[in-house]
Structure formats: C-alpha cells, structure tokens
Amino acid sequence: MGQIINGYQYAEAAGERIVGLLDGETRVSKKSGDTELDGVEGHVEFDDVHFAYRDEEGEAEETVLKGIDFEANPGDYVGLVGPTGAGKSTTMKLLLRFYDPDSGTIRLDGHDIADVDLRSLREHVGYVSQEPYLFYGTVAENIAYGVPDYDEAAMHDAAETAGAHEFVADLEDGYDTMVGERGVKLSGGQRQRIALARTILRDPDVLVLDEATSHVDNETEAVIQNSLDALTEDRTVFAIAHRLSTVRDADQILVMDDGEIVERGDHEQLIDGDGLYANLWRVQVGEMDALPDEFVQRSLEAQ
C-alpha cells in the first residue's frame, strides 16, 4: 500500500509539472506557420535582427542583439566567437525559434522562419548543446529520440560516426543499457557522443553546435572533434566556439561583442585585422596574458 501511495504522489507531482508546461505562454509570437520545408539547401540569412529578453511581466530587458546581419550559403561552415555574453547562443536560439526577434527577419532558403511550420523547421535544423540532455531510458532510445521510424543499422552507423559505438558496445547491455535520469551513468564525453549520434541519425540540413566540446577533457575533445568533422559535411553548420582552434578552418567567422557583429572574415583575414579575434587568438596560443580590460569588464557584466 505504501508503494502505491508513493507512486500516486510521484505521478501527481509529475502531472502538475506537465500541466504547468502546457499552460505556459509560448516564447514565440506565432507558434506555427503554414509553410512546410522540403528539399532544404541550407541558405540562412539574418537581416537587421534585434532582440531583448523579457521579464515575467513581458517587459523588454536590455537589448542583447543589435542589428545582426549576415548570410550563410548552403554548405558553409560558420564560426561564432566572442567574449561571454556577446550574444552568440542567443543568435542561434532565434534561428531555432526558441524566441522571435523584436525586429528584423531570419530566412531559411528564402522563407521567413516565422511563416514556417515549427515542427518542419526543427526537423531541418539540428542542435547540439554544451550540456546535452539524456532521458531515462536505454542508449538506443536516447539516440533514436525524435526519429520514430529509425532503422537499427542506421542507428549503429550514427553511433559509429559519433565515436560512441565502441564504448556503448562495452556497456553491460550494449544499446539496451539504461543510462539513468539525465544520463547520470555516463561520463560527460559519453553523453556528448550520444547526443551527437542522435543528431547524426536525424540528418539535419542545418546544424548548430553550441560549444559542443567545452566541458570535456582534451582527449575526449579530440574524439568528439573527429565526430564533428564527419557531421559537418554536406550541410550548413554554425559552430559557437570558445576554443578558436575548432573554427580556424571555417568559411566565415563572425566575431560578436556586446550584441553586435564587430568583425567577420576567415581566420587569416581576422588575424591580419588585428582586432578582437586576433586578441582572443593570442590569448589562447599564449602570446598574450589576457584580453584588454574593456572586453573583460563587459564579459563580467554579462554574467
């Protein structure tokens, strides 16, 4: 009887959380448009985008994006770099429509994403965060999450590409191993590779990597970076990077500071420009002890 009561109380609490989520106001002004994406090439445009987060009363707080304007061609590898609080992650969250801009337009293959069916948009835009979320379930269920008609061989191929197959095969029950709530039975690097396998299986046309190797050791980073190299082929990729070495070979690097794009170009152009990117690079390769004071102060204020 005690177990039944405990189970009921647990289910009741879980139900209340679910109802709370369902009753909550959406963060986007129009939940879903009518346009269904098909044959996506991956041409992305941000046109004079401004954005401010809002408080609980819906009032705008400090503007965090100020006139973001750039274009990525199909198949481009675009790096986003800059100090903490520069607006890099927020920019990509707008592409995924976690939020809508206050002004300006974001387009995918010429379509205003506000007019695109939200499910269709997110089927074509993949996202790998620095802190991937795993659900209570098996390794296989976590990799195949969101892909209802997956093929088992394709799932194994995705895990192989992500550098996950070897450690999964060594688990007690292989792909049927329970990972625990939030993947607590796995290391940070293992969780990240499971998340990468999930994204590879979905095969998105546009991929956002939000500091995907920021919380792992150097050896694990090397394994994950090899996986990312395979994942970035034949699709448009946006990589938010703390370690500039991960975007050194990008087709285009957008350097952000205080909500604006302050520099753009490839690695060599930005080094020659002797601006913020060049300073960040010198710090990371040991040629400079620290960023100039004004950049450090802005990063501290943004935290």
pLDDT tens-digit series, residues 8-62: 665 666 555 555 544 445 566 556 667 888 889 999 999 999 999 988 887 888 8
**Residue 212, pLDDT score:** 76
Distance CA 270, CA 291 (A): 16
The answer to whether 273 touches 265, Cβ cutoff 8 Å, is yes
3-state secondary structure of 239: strand
**Residue 303, pLDDT score:** 41
Give the CA-trace dihedral at 183, 197, 141, 113, to 10 degrees: 100
Distance CA 90, CA 68 (A): 11
Helix or strand holding residue 165 (H, E): helix 165-169
pLDDT tens digits, 185-202:
888 888 988 998 998 899
Asked if pLDDT for residue 292 goes beyond 70, the answer is: no
**Residue 22, pLDDT score:** 46
**Residue 16, pLDDT score:** 58
Asked if pLDDT for residue 302 goes beyond 50, the answer is: no
Ramachandran category for residue 58: left, alpha or beta (phi over 0 → left; psi -120 to 50 → alpha): left
Record the pTM. 0.82
- Kindly give, in sequence order, each residue whose CB lies less than 8 Å from that of residue 131, ignoring residues fewer than 6 positions away: 215
- The burial class, CB within 10 Å (0-12 / 13-18 / 19+), for 157 is middle
Structural Rg of the chain based on CA atoms: 21
How large a percentage of the chain has pLDDT more than 90?
51
Provide mean pLDDT across the span 104-130. Answer: 93
Of 253, 258, 261, residue with least CA distance to 294: 258
Dig out the tokens for 238 from the structure: 């946006």
Q: Which residues pair with 265 in a beta bridge?
A: 253
**Residue 215, pLDDT score:** 63
The answer to whether 11 touches 5, Cβ cutoff 8 Å, is no
Do you know the residue count of the chain? 303
Asked if pLDDT for residue 252 goes beyond 80, the answer is: yes
pLDDT interval class at 132 (50, 70, 90): confident
The answer to whether 114 touches 100, Cβ cutoff 8 Å, is yes
Dig out the tokens for 110 from the structure: 């010429």
Dig out the tokens for 197 from the structure: 């396998």
Give the CA-trace dihedral at 137, 228, 211, 93, to 10 degrees: -80
* Structural domains of the chain sorted by starting position, each given as residue range(s) with its CATH number in brackets: 44-302 (3.40.50.300)
Helix or strand holding residue 17 (H, E): helix 2-23
**Residue 24, pLDDT score:** 46
pLDDT interval class at 208 (50, 70, 90): very high
Provide mean pLDDT across the span 254-276. Answer: 96
**Residue 291, pLDDT score:** 62
Q: What separation in angstroms does the CA of 273 have from each of 83, 226, 262, 263, 276?
A: 18, 30, 11, 9, 9
**Residue 26, pLDDT score:** 54
**Residue 37, pLDDT score:** 86
DSSP 268-280: HHHHHHTSHHHHH
Asked if pLDDT for residue 154 goes beyond 80, the answer is: yes
With residues binned 3-state (H G I as helix, E B as strand, rest as coil), the percentages for the chain, rounded to 5, are 40, 20, 35
**Residue 10, pLDDT score:** 55
